[in-house]
Amino acid sequence: MDIRYVPEPFRIKMVETIKMLSREEREMKIAEAKYNMFSLKGEDVYIDLLTDSGTNAMSQEQWAGVMRGDEAYAGGTSYFKLVEAAQDIFGYEYIQPVHQGRAAEKVLFGLLMGEGQYSISNMHFDTTRAHVELSGARAIDCVVAEAADPTVRAPFKGNMDIVKLEELINKYGPDKVKLVIMTITNNSAGGQPVSVQNIRETSEICKKYNIKFCIDAARYAENAYFIKQREPGYENKSIKEIIKEVFSYADMFTMSAKKDSIVNMGGLIGIKNDGKLFQLCKGRTISFEGFTTYGGLSGRDLESLAIGLYEGIDENYLRYRIGQMEYLAGRLDKAGIAYQSPVGGHGVFVDAKAMFPHIPYNEFPGQALAIELYKEAGIRTCDIGSYMLGNDPDTGEQLHADFEFTRLAIPRRVYTQAHIDIMADALIAIKERANTVKGYRITWEPPILRHFQASLEPVK
């Protein structure tokens, strides 16, 4: 069945020229970049799907807000406008702006856990895991089993495995587990949503064992839209009502505002009602980020974020946004191209293991497909698989990821239907010559977060 493209609920007032290099030029550029997507220059990319983070297009209201931004060092009007908007949407008393999501993690996590303690999440995003570990604690993932099978079409593949969560708490000790984090949507599992029921049940377990419950809220609006579409009892609720209920179950949230809040830079910490914890956060914000009323951002950033928070929860916008994913996924279904299904909220995670069954995990099928997409159509994507996972810190052996995805992360309000068709056409062309595509090996790598900097070469 053809899925119709949901028309953009906006028209275009300002444009940015992009260009497509010739195939020969692209082959040269990617070889010069040592087959690392992060080493390509932005200007050599035709369609940039490396991330949906900070790559969104702001509206005319947001740009007007940029002009109105109050740059006072302390007590600027843009700060109060932002706090008011966040209080209104999330229902939390305390709101602290910071410069991006990982800054929120850095400020908050060091206050909550340390050596010999644990954080459990449906899935920690890389930087979230890094900040748990920098605090001295350990990060444990606890996602439902169906997340690991791209072919299983479950409605909430991002959920926490509730039974396992309780087992893990008892295994490590309720006094040692200091934080439970619910990542909505679940980025690493493919932008998969988490249900209200699962969030409520997780919250009940946290209360039972007296453990703090935090939401990683980067894609909270897309998650709310999926709840409205898929969870019985929520079809007639507004997106804002769903968000209010979701956040009512947690004690705090960290947020990268560079995703669903449709800005290019920004983050938030929200604390429901723990004034003491908020006071401690303010102290750390001042030393790490800047004074509390700007938190590492310009007044203009605070102003555009206050507006973006509302634009990101507009249902017409979300229908178009998720519709764009569904349209692309529909074209892949027709062509028999496997991806994490049903499609998630911020991109299509193509199953590179299924596309290249002849490429073993340690020759990086997800990275091989990313390189082919660049060569085929100048599209930049990234590997979410063994290449990104890296080596075992104890043995130095290459780890074997549960899945080998190539992530096509779609920036918000940036690309049109024609661009989406180019993405689908490129994947179809690659599938037709899939058996000729070779794997890659690493010729140089740094010790941590290697995928950002490593050099590769094709396997002979």
Q: Would you name the residues annotated as active-site residues?
A: 73, 125-126, 216, 218, 259, 451
- Helices within 113-186 (DSSP H only): 126-134, 162-172
The closest alpha carbon to 56, from 447, 349, 321, belongs to 321
In the bound state with ligand F0G, the residue whose beta carbon lies nearer, of 185 and 356, is: 185
Nearest CB to ligand F0G, comparing residues 117 and 186: 186
CB 323 within 8 A of CB 115: no
Measured CA to CA, the distance from residue 314 to residue 397 in angstroms comes to 46
381 scored as a contact of ligand F0G (CB under 6 A)? no
Distance between CA atoms of 8 and 60, rounded to whole angstroms?
Answer: 15
Position 53 contacts ligand F0G (CB under 6 A): yes
CB of residue 123 vs ligand F0G: minimum separation in angstroms? 8
Closest contact distance (angstroms) between CB of 410 and ligand F0G is 12
Q: Does 258 bind ligand F0G (CB under 6 A)?
A: yes
Q: Least distance to ligand F0G from the beta carbon of 232, Å?
A: 26
Q: To the nearest whole angstrom, how small is the minimum distance from the Cβ of residue 237 to ligand F0G?
A: 24
- With CB under 6 A as the contact rule, the residue among 211, 218, 281, 343 that binds ligand F0G is 218
The count of residues interacting with ligand F0G (CB under 6 A) is 15
Q: Pick from 216, 222, 301, 404: which binds ligand F0G (CB under 6 A)? A: 216
Contacting ligand F0G within 91-110 (CB under 6 A):
100-102
Rg (CA), the chain: 22
Calpha distance 119→216 (Å, rounded): 13
For residues 444 and 451, what is the distance between their CA atoms, to the nearest angstrom? 11
**Which 8-state DSSP code applies to residue 458?**
E
Distance CA 321, CA 406 (A): 20
Asked if residue 296 binds ligand F0G (CB under 6 A), the reply is no
Should residue 406 be labelled a site residue for ligand F0G when binding is judged by CB under 6 A? no
Please list every residue from 114 through 173 that binds ligand F0G, using CB under 6 A: 125, 127-128
What is the Cα–Cα distance from 125 to 130, expressed in whole angstroms? 9
Q: Which residues in 205-229 are b (16+ Cβ under 10 Å) and which e?
A: bbeeeebbbbbbbbbbbbbbbbbbe
Q: Which residue is nearest to ligand F0G (CB)?
A: 101
For residue 93, the 8-state DSSP code is S
CB of 52 to ligand F0G, least distance (A): 7
Of 182-201, which residues contact ligand F0G (CB under 6 A)?
A: 183, 187
Where does this chain bind ligand F0G (CB under 6 A)? 51, 53, 100-102, 125, 127-128, 183, 187, 216, 218, 256, 258, 267
